[in-house]
Amino acid sequence: MKIIENKQIDEKVYTEELENGMKVIIIPKKNTNKKYIIWGTKFGSNDNHFIEPTTNKEIKVPDGVAHYLEHKMFEQENGEDSLYVLMALGLDANAYTTNDHTAYLFACTDNFYKGLDELMDYVQHPYFTDENVEKERGIIGQEIQRYDDEPMWKLYINTVRCLYDKNPITIDTAGTIETISHITKETLYSCYNTFYHPSNMIMCISGDFEVKKIIEEVKKRLLPKKKIDKIKRIYPQYEPDINKKYIEKTMDVNMPQFMIGYRDFMQNESMIKKNIAIKIICNCIIGKCSKTYQELYEKGLIMRELDFDFEFGEHYSHILISGESNKPKEIYEKITLELQNETITEEDFERSRKRLYGELVTEYDDVENIGRMYLSDSIKGIDSMKYIDEVQRITLKDVNKIKEEIFIKEKSVLSIIKNK
């Protein structure tokens, strides 16, 4: 068992790789009644092309399979829906699919081990038939249509499609009405048997647990399987340029919405350091306390604080900045020029760095936040605890170097949703 400790925030994380290859992460939290478990597999919307490990055959599946599979995992052969079984126990249960993983989870104060029984039973016992797969097609089709009518989702997907052409990050998580029409029970079983093997899964548990005991409880409920090699994913060739500079769509919105995107072409830094630096840069130059934000707000060009995010994975890396404005193109010109040319002072840097440190420490106080964070970061091969150390080590020189590499106006894109 590996122990990761940070004495400054008095936190310990225990990780163990089991004989079947599954990684278990335990985050003990004393003085809390709340317990949280999240069990994830490295299978998301990006993973539509791969080598099947047992047959060594190249497989291409329809877009939306990971999300479809997540939906079908709850239905059991006895007719029960495991989500309702968990909720009947008083547990806050859920599941979700992203571009790089699928996760099943619950939070509770009581009945944890009854919930663990149900969670580990349904995730290890899929039940797909022609009838129940067909029944789900209409339900997911309605979900896809709802997303198609959601302005923020269209804004996001249009932005990444400006940044990339063939990269699977541009795939809608749920697929399309056309792609899900090709999903069968055989497709689901093939993907389940490939990606839901313990060697491709990570479980995070946080709360007041005795570490060795909870790991033994997990082992008791695991089906016997041998460790397998890492699954080989097949991705399109690296794209050296952005796909297109601008896209505009009309939808039913009260005020035009915009999203600015930057591709990260310089993947030569620690992604943890880069993530921290980008947050500091955006806070200092376009955050709520910045002179740029105050100027835009006073002129009535923006009505609320801008949102910014850094998304990255094995084959993609980009920054997204979004907001609302009646003059989105004017906002784009102002923000991209300021991010490229504005100088960050030592005082602004220190203030933003300390604020970020405080936010990270607060994140560790919540069993759900830290469990979800550890799973998401572990999927990407990152140790979440290192954020605390890196935010203390990072310098203004580091931040300026990353700023000069990424925030280049000519390498940015703009996506707009306007009112019909």
Tens of pLDDT, residues 116-133: 999 999 999 999 999 999
Residue 332 in tokens: 């784009």
Question: Is residue 269 among the annotated active site residues?
Answer: no
Mean pLDDT (whole number) for 223-252 = 93
pLDDT of 395-411, one tens digit each? Answer: 999 999 999 999 999 99
Do the beta carbons of residue 233 and residue 53 sit within 8 Å?
Answer: no
Give the side-chain half-sphere CA count within 13 A for 413: 26
Name the active-site residue from 11, 70, 75, 118: 70
Q: Band of the pLDDT at 49, cuts 50, 70, 90? A: very high
pLDDT of residue 269: 62
pLDDT of residue 249: 96
The rounded percent of the chain whose pLDDT value lies above 90 is: 89
Res. 184: pLDDT tops 70: yes
Res. 268: pLDDT tops 70: no
Give the side-chain half-sphere CA count within 13 A for 197: 20
Residue owning tokens 């947050």? 279
> Distances in Å between the alpha carbon of 219 and those of 73, 140, 238, 241?
21, 34, 40, 47
pLDDT of residue 363: 87
Q: Give, in degrees to the nearest 5, the angle at Cα 323 between 143 and 412.
A: 95
pLDDT of residue 392: 93
User: What is the rounded distance in angstroms from the CA atom of residue 170 to the CA atom of residue 181?
Assistant: 19
Q: Whole-number mean pLDDT of the chain?
A: 94
Mean pLDDT (whole number) for 310-320 = 93
User: What is the rounded distance in angstroms from the CA atom of residue 2 to the CA atom of residue 14?
Assistant: 6
pLDDT of 71-91, one tens digit each? Answer: 999 999 998 999 999 999 999
pTM of the entire predicted model: 0.94
> Distances in Å between the alpha carbon of 7 and those of 4, 278, 296, 393?
10, 26, 42, 16
The torsion defined by the Cα of 223, 225, 229 and 230, in degrees rounded to 10, comes to -10
**Local structure of 14: helix, strand or coil:** strand
Strand partners, 105: 38, 94
Mean pLDDT (whole number) for 22-28 = 97
Q: 384, 24, 4: which is closest to 202 by C-alpha?
A: 24
User: What is the rounded distance in angstroms from the CA atom of residue 241 to the CA atom of residue 238?
Assistant: 9
Residue 375 in tokens: 């799973």
Q: What are phi and psi of 149, to 5 degrees?
A: -95, 5
Q: Band of the pLDDT at 267, cuts 50, 70, 90? A: low
Strand pairing category for 102-108 and 201-207: unpaired
Would you tell me how many other CB atoms lie within 10 Å of the CB of residue 66? 27
Among 106-120, 173-187, 228-242, which is the least confidently predicted range? 228-242
Q: Band of the pLDDT at 54, cuts 50, 70, 90? A: confident
pLDDT of 333-350, one tens digit each? Answer: 999 999 999 999 999 999
Mean pLDDT (whole number) for 58-70 = 96
Q: In the sheet where 57-60 sits, what is the strand order?
A: 57-60, 49-52, 232-233
pLDDT of 147-172, one tens digit each? Answer: 999 999 999 999 999 999 999 999 99
Res. 137: pLDDT tops 70: yes
pLDDT of residue 183: 97
Show the domains of the chain with their CATH numbers.
2-233 (3.30.830.10), 246-419 (3.30.830.10)
pLDDT of residue 25: 98
